Amino acid sequence: MSTNTFKIIVRQSAGSLERILRLVRHRGFDVNYCLAREESLENGMSVTLQLSSERSADNLYHQLHKLVDVVEVHQSKPSRLRSCLGNE
């Protein structure tokens, strides 16, 4: 079981958070932590997720990137988890 943290910038629209969480669940990841808030970008939202799974997070990175509303995906190494969450 490994833990990964993703920070996702998404175009805010009805259901964009739901779409991300559905994908994460379906691809076999548990959500340990989730924070969604407005971004300074116009119509943007940032979503920070701490996820755990037996599966590789590399595929998930690309699958998240493929979502139409997703603008950016940043994947933090497990060791950087604390500092990443600390900035929220």
Q: Residue from 2, 28, 32, 66 that binds other proteins (CB under 8 A)?
A: 66
53 binding other proteins? (CB under 8 A): no
Query: Does 42 participate in binding other proteins (rule CB under 8 A)?
Result: no
Q: Does 18 bind other proteins (CB under 8 A)?
A: yes
Residue 22 binds to other proteins (criterion: CB under 8 A): yes
Quick check: 9 and 46 in contact, CB under 8 A?
Answer: yes
Q: 36 near 45, Cβ under 8 Å?
A: yes
- Binding status of residue 19 toward other proteins by CB under 8 A: yes
Q: Which alpha helices (H) appear in the chain, and where do they start and end?
A: 16-26, 57-66, 81-86
